[in-house]
Amino acid sequence: MPPVAAATVGRVTTDATDAPSPTRYRCEACGNLTRFDVVTSRRTKAFHHYSVGGELTVEEEQVLDENVEEVTCRWCGHGSAVETIEPGAVTVPDGATGVEGAG
Using CB under 5 A, list all residues that contact Zn ion: 27, 29-30, 32, 73, 75-76
State in angstroms the smallest separation of the CB of 81 from Zn ion.
6
State in angstroms the smallest separation of the CB of 66 from Zn ion.
24
The Cα–Cα gap between 96 and 103 comes to 15
Of residues 77 and 98, the one with the C-beta less far from Zn ion: 77
> CB atoms < 10 A from the CB of 47, how many?
10
The Cα–Cα gap between 31 and 51 comes to 49
Of residues 13 and 34, the one with the C-beta less far from Zn ion: 34
Of residues 63 and 71, the one with the C-beta less far from Zn ion: 71
The Cα–Cα gap between 90 and 34 comes to 12
State in angstroms the smallest separation of the CB of 29 from Zn ion.
4
Of residues 31 and 87, the one with the C-beta less far from Zn ion: 31
Query: What are the residues whose beta carbons fall under 8 Å from the beta carbon of 47, sequence distance 6 or more?
Result: 58, 59, 60, 61
State in angstroms the smallest separation of the CB of 25 from Zn ion.
10
